[in-house]
Homo-oligomer: A and B are copies of this chain.
Amino acid sequence: MRPPQWIPAWLLLLHGCATALLPKAADSRTDIRDCSTDPPYLPPTATDTTARVAALRGAMRALGVQAYVVPATDAHMSEYISARDARLGWLTGFTGSAGTGVVTQDKAALWTDSRYWTQAERQLDCNWELQRTTWIESIGMWILEAVPVGGNISLDPFLFSIDTWNSYRQALQGSGRVLLPIDTNLVDQVWGDQRPAAASSEIYSLPEEFTGSSWQEKVARIRQEMEQHMRHPTAVLLSGLEETAWLFNLRGNDIPYNPVFYSYTLLTNTSIRLFVGERRLAPAARSSLRAACPGPLCVELHEYEEAPAHLRQYVQGNVTVWLGTEYTTYGLYSLIPQEKLLEDSYSPVMLAKAVKNTREQDLLRAAHVRDAVAVIQYLLWLEKTVPRGEVDEFSGAQRMDALRQAQEHSCGPSFQSISASGLNAALAHYSPSNRSSRQLSVDEMYLADTGGQYLDGTTDITRTVHWGTPTPFQKEAYTRVLMGNIDLSRLVFPPNTAGRVIESFARRPLWDVGLNYGHGTGHGIGNFLSVHEWPVGFQSNNVPLTAGMFTSIEPGYYQDGEFGIRIEDVALVVEAQTEHQSGEKPFLTFEVVSLVPYDRNLIDISLLSPEQVRYLNTYYESIRARVGQELQRQQLQEEYDWLQRSTEPFPLGSAAAATATSTTGTLALTMLLSALLPGLQA
């Protein structure tokens, strides 16, 4: 099961609930708004939604709908959505990325998680109750109170995942209310011509030098999997935008941060239907797709909107359609008769994409070397400018973006930069704005979680630094986060191991002293695709780790109201060299491809085991070898010198000595000394 749709899955804590998201303060909280006065008090940031809500209610009445549910997602379960899909934002005024709205004839409510409570209070007007929880059960209970028996609860089935649909169905089961899908989206209907236009920018082929294999090879491979499958599916249906982009080596600009485009694909054993709109394709892309027409490697181009109709027609035949339920909406899913359906959590394309071939691995490695250059430039720049009081969170983030942009093959940031100083970093997902931005200071810790899109790869890295004197607790916490990062990075594990069962190694050094963090430990990442690429990672619904997968490793620690630490690297799953071999396949481990040193000012080396120090020194050697060379190539001498300083090997002695403290190792030394000293004194 995916987590509730409006929480980015990788953010969720793996152990029970996400403590960071726990609505523990929900009861005692006072709303910024005061809707009890006349007129109500609303902050100036609130949006007047009276007309919009009234229009929606009109549309609902016309169709006999008592409650209408509006999600924050698009029809492809995308993590980032375009303005045209921001229905919830338009209807409610709330622009957070996660939430659900429900409107009845006399009530309206928005559900969102604790990251967004303050933002919601600032943006909602008094048409909206704010519900400070995220579980569908709670939405269901609210609906049951608001809608009498016999009432219709409606939603657009093309905006809900199968799981979410089933959760609503379950919540309303046996209640006498009807869950009624309506294909016409009622928000779109009342939004009318104010709604942003459909994407029309060009869709282009990724240059061959940046692809792992041709789209024809990818299609052939998927068809082979179809043939070899026990159930002999005749078609694969692709709904995830990354899936189509990857399969055809196409990219676009329809969505922020992710270079994808609105599309569906129906790949059958004899035909290929791409639903995207022919006029959007760059001429070269169009030629590549149409070169083998007619024939089994001819891509038929259809309008984006025609996908459901084609699917409906296709399933009339003696066919079996293979799909991944995690990225397919209930709307499409319900078009396929159950006996013609072959469902897995992830489509074969999603799974193929997750394992990078050696060419793709090399591309991603290369992108990380140039990305490291930009991050190192940024860290050095901060070192020089922060003490002068010249940087705030926002200008820092801008600088980081600009430095990346200057690197070869750059295509902008891969997500909105998290640039957080002091207590702001304790909010795991804080992003600064021009209006509210804290000045960086030598007296505070600073956390930068940033990433870039390059034609050869997507990057994502977090470094936490302190330019002054950290407190002993800050230093301990940072070192323990680092130890966790190291312990997971250097872990050797059997093939077919699920990330979920090894991610605790990243937490153990914190657990040892009663600390923890409230988010996931990592997520997959693409070759110039998504920065959070499923189904790779350490969550319960991730697939087992396989050589060729890339995942982030990102433990952290957050001290409410004080500071936040996260140390994030991207790592490639590789085969391990082990003393023994059991089983048919070699064991696995990680090769870290993010190549930026950690802040020495925050490391208490005495806490590290000799193995951890040895690992760290080896990692630093590889940074020197790979990034040092690139810095020289780019003639960045000052950065080169900084890198040399920052990657000086740590003495093993201090760690070993620390390990021996209060052991008979020390005792033996003391005894030896007392045995020898008399001789000396004699």
**Which chain A residues have a beta carbon within 8 Å of chain B's beta carbons?**
14-17, 19, 173-174, 338-339, 491-494, 496-498, 500-505, 508, 511-516, 544, 576, 578-583, 586-587, 609-610, 614, 651-653, 655-657, 659-660, 663-669, 672-673, 676-677, 679-680
Given the contacts A659-B659, A676-B676, A582 and B514 also touching, CB distance less than 8 Å: yes
Does A491 lie within 8 Å of B511, measured CB to CB?
Answer: yes
Chain B neighbourhood of A660, CB < 8 A: 610, 656, 659-660, 665
Question: Apart from A15-B494, A491-B508, A665-B665, what are 4 other A-B pairs with CB-CB below 8 Å?
Answer: A501-B503, A653-B667, A656-B663, A657-B668
A429 to chain B, nearest CB (A): 19
The answer for the CA separation of A663 and B656 in the assembled complex, in Å, is 7
Given the contacts A496-B16, A500-B501, A501-B504, A515 and B656 also touching, CB distance less than 8 Å: no
The answer for the CA separation of A249 and B16 in the assembled complex, in Å, is 32
Does B496 lie within 8 Å of A514, measured CB to CB?
Answer: no
Chain B neighbourhood of A583, CB < 8 A: 19, 516
A-B contact pairs, 30 of them (CB 8 A): A15-B494, A15-B497, A16-B498, A17-B496, A19-B583, A492-B512, A502-B504, A504-B504, A504-B505, A511-B587, A512-B578, A514-B580, A514-B582, A610-B659, A610-B663, A651-B664, A653-B663, A653-B668, A656-B660, A656-B664, A656-B665, A656-B668, A657-B665, A659-B665, A660-B660, A672-B673, A676-B677, A676-B680, A679-B680, A680-B680
A16 to chain B, nearest CB (A): 4
Partner of A514 from B511, B512, B578, B651 at Cβ < 8 Å? B578
Partner of A14 from B491, B501, B669 at Cβ < 8 Å? B501
Chain B neighbourhood of A515, CB < 8 A: 580, 582
A167 to chain B, nearest CB (A): 15
The answer for the CA separation of A652 and B651 in the assembled complex, in Å, is 23
Chain B neighbourhood of A665, CB < 8 A: 610, 652-653, 656-657, 659-660, 665
Does B498 lie within 8 Å of A15, measured CB to CB?
Answer: yes
Query: Taking CB as reference atom, which chain B residue is nearest A682?
Result: B680
Specify which of A338, A512, A581, A676 lies most central, judged by the most chain B CB atoms within 10 Å of its CB: A512
The answer for the CA separation of A673 and B496 in the assembled complex, in Å, is 49
The answer for the CA separation of A491 and B514 in the assembled complex, in Å, is 11
Does B504 lie within 8 Å of A580, measured CB to CB?
Answer: no
Does A514 lie within 8 Å of B581, measured CB to CB?
Answer: yes
Query: Taking CB as reference atom, which chain B residue is nearest A174?
Result: B339
Does A579 lie within 8 Å of B668, measured CB to CB?
Answer: no
Does A513 lie within 8 Å of B664, measured CB to CB?
Answer: no
Does B494 lie within 8 Å of A516, measured CB to CB?
Answer: yes
Specify which of A17, A339, A501, A680 lies most central, judged by the most chain B CB atoms within 10 Å of its CB: A501
Query: Taking CB as reference atom, which chain B residue is nearest A654?
Result: B664
The answer for the CA separation of A676 and B672 in the assembled complex, in Å, is 11
A549 to chain B, nearest CB (A): 15
The list of the 4 closest CB pairs from A to B, nearest first, reads: A514-B578, A174-B339, A656-B665, A653-B664
